[in-house]
Chain A
């Protein structure tokens, strides 16, 4: 067992109202630069829909993620190492900017500079790629709220797959089913899916990078691009099945969601989490066994990948795990944070969160609580009590098609785990309604889904009323590093015993200085400044600069 820590996210889709605040604040923070106009590290998709870039989930076309070769070993769907080098001069399956959308601005000057005339001056759209007038035909959320209707829904690769499966199950009635699916979607079923980089445990983008410029941080699992090492081969863009690595067409380098690591390192949540008005995002530490990652990702059946990934996660309350984590250098406050992690609770304890597209075999680390609201609304629309446990349980199964669609997103088509998660949410709803109305709570529905009354109340608390510091349990890098930083000021060996120092030594010299312990001058030692969470937040949100900062 080799314990590593990962900062992971869970999003509760029931709460997402599709306001795009996360996208906008992320854009303003990270991608409001030229060359990145078309890039949204965070975007919100309406599902069913084509997504951004268009139809990115169609891996037969885009070749993202991993697949198993004939011997059952993992290989990149975009091709092996030799194939990658042989096609390095031109990536055969790279999305063009127009697959995302052509960025534009408006000719605002025309509004003030137009000569006096009969017509009201307009600000024409201008392409940011060509500088010429353009017709705006697509953007990152063009099919928002099912805008464009049935054609957009039909073009959703996951709708196609759910339909194909339905067709396989009932040959001959395919046409009727097809119409039914479409009608069901259009009338009753829609939800929002906010997406960021998944910071996968088995990242295909990192594996695809020929330069070795992409890496997964050992401390917190964040996947980053070394901007000085990237040579612009564009293999990562193809490798990522979620299409969350982007090519900056000005600098010629890949860029991606950083999980706002400068904020996380001082204990602040990511910008998308911080600004989410629905408070639907949870951030926390998950401990996992790095030795099990490859085996889990090579699970033969795609539908077993969800369970396999759960098997990679470790229980931070298990004393053996805690000892192993200490041994493997996971800082103590990170282990404590893992115990209080809302992400661990939603994923492993309550099992209501599911991974997005586990069939890509990247073991993604941004998970989703599937939306129950469309089911409740459909039920209420037919005049039934949408929060009655009996009704809800029946409806989850009857509304087969949404269930199958959700399963295509979250469990590679296996409706079991999706149904179980939705039933837990339904049981929680009816149980808490009884509590709120002062009725004796009916524990049978809760026990039917394998939970207990107090457990449901804990889950309700986490999903419904958890406060800022319960939703974001982030151990700071600074605190975790503090001990190491202090030690680095007085290193293991003599501080002067580096190459070029009077000791001219290196490893092996060690021990006390020339005139006893800690003797000699300490030129060039790193200054240790440990800033705590509150101090840094105070500084970052202050209206006036600190006295010492003025005049810099």
Chain B
């Protein structure tokens, strides 16, 4: 079981993420959108959505820092464990609180605004459950295992395991003895990663950074084989 969770599940999640994204790009470009509900309700969204998104972006930066920058590197630049702990405790908590407040407001809006709630699919509900669980569990794990003076140093256990996944030699033993709350957070996190291509979360991969570099007005030409015709898409073949 231990091996399954820490050596098989991560690869299943990553495979689903990559293959699912490729599949979605090939067969569901039309469904690849933010599915915004702003035209129904704008006031709450104008506060809640930026709060959540900026919060979760900082959380992401924190995860990348914590998991993929080895402790020896931060030590080398003079950031000792205690300093790093304080940074992750306060910085991480601030970002986490922003994200939690944002998603709480977003969920409140989604439930109480009738048009928004009617536009919510079962897929969305599943995604919200897993996303909320991952964020709450992460905050819980961090806060219950920390005090200002010291906290659980995941950079000696979880981080090496996470890095070992990418060398294809998963260091399963590193995860032994990790507090249960962290373990739960990691499992929910892997579930979330696997869900990304199959939910609206896919919009994270279309962050339009290229907008900064392209000319304002885009011209395109018709190509001869598309004059007023379009190939029928898979799944939409003519039936009559």
Q: Nearest B residue to A82 by beta-carbon distance?
A: B212
CB contacts (< 8 Å) of A511 on chain B: these are: none
Q: Chain B interface mostly helix, strand, loop or mixed?
A: loop
Interface residues of A in 144-175 (CB under 8 A from B): none
Cross-chain contact of B218 among A90, A129, A216, A253 (Cβ < 8 A): A216
Chain B contacts for A87, CB-based, 8 A: 50
The reply to whether A231 and B208 contact each other, CB–CB distance below 8 Å, is yes
With a cutoff of 8 Å between Cβ atoms, the chain A residues found around residue B219 in the complex are: 215-218
Could you tell me the distance in whole angstroms from the C-beta of A74 to the nearest C-beta in chain B? 8
Given contacts A129-B40, A207-B216, A215-B219, contact A232 B228 (CB under 8 A): no
Is B212 in contact with A85, judged by CB distance below 8 angstroms?
yes
A89 to B217, CA, bound (A): 23
**Is the Cβ of B36 less than 8 Å from the Cβ of A218?**
no
Which of the residues A92, A97, A130, A251 comes within 8 Å of B114, measured between beta carbons?
A130
Residue of A nearest to B35 (CB): A252
CA distance A96 to B206 in the complex (A): 24
Contact with A along B100-140 (1 / 0, CB 8 A): 00000000000000110011000000000000000000000
**A55-85 interface bits toward B, Cβ cutoff 8 Å, 1 = contact, 0 = none:** 0000000000000000000000000011011
Question: Which A residues are CB-close (under 8 A) to B222?
Answer: 217, 219, 477, 481
Docked-complex contact B212 and A81, CB < 8 angstroms:
yes
Per-position binary interface string of chain B over residues 37-66, scored 1 when its CB falls under 8 Å from any chain A CB and 0 otherwise: 111111001100110111000000000000
Closest to B205 in A: A231
Q: Bound complex: CA of A250 vs CA of B54, how far in Å?
A: 26
Q: Report the Cα distance A28→B39, complex, angstroms.
A: 23
Separation of A82 and B35 alpha carbons in the complex (Å): 23
Evaluate contact between B30 and A228: CB separation under 8 angstroms.
yes
Cα distance, A219 to B118, chains bound together (Å): 42
Count residues of chain B with CB under 8 A from any CB of chain A: 44
Nearest opposing residue in chain B for A102, CB measure: B115
B114 pairs with A85, CB closer than 8 A: no
**A203: Cβ under 8 A from any B Cβ:** yes
Q: Contact check, A212 vs B40: say whether CB atoms are below 8 A apart.
A: no
- Size category of the A interface is 35 or more
> Which residues of A462-519 have CB atoms within 8 Å of chain B's CB atoms?
477-478, 481, 484-485, 488
> A202–B41 contact, CB under 8 A?
no
Q: Is B168 part of the contact surface with A, judged by Cβ < 8 Å? A: no
Given A94-B38, A232-B36, does the pair A481, B46 have CB atoms closer than 8 Å?
no
Question: Do A265 and B38 form a contact, CB below 8 Å, given A89-B49, A129-B118?
Answer: no
- The answer to whether B228 touches A265, judged by C-beta atoms less than 8 angstroms apart, is yes
Which residues of the partner chain A approach B232 to less than 8 Å between Cβ atoms? none
B29 in contact (CB, < 8 A): yes
> Counting CB contacts under 8 A, is B152 at the interface?
no
Interface: A40 (CB within 8 A): no
B interface residues (Cβ-Cβ under 8 A, vs A): 29-30, 32-42, 45-46, 49-50, 52-54, 114-115, 118-119, 203, 206, 208-212, 214, 216-222, 224-225, 227-228, 240
Give A contacts to B, CB under 8 Å. 81-82, 84-85, 87-92, 94-97, 129-132, 202-203, 206-207, 209-212, 214-219, 227-234, 247, 249-253, 261-262, 265-266, 477-478, 481, 484-485, 488, 526, 552
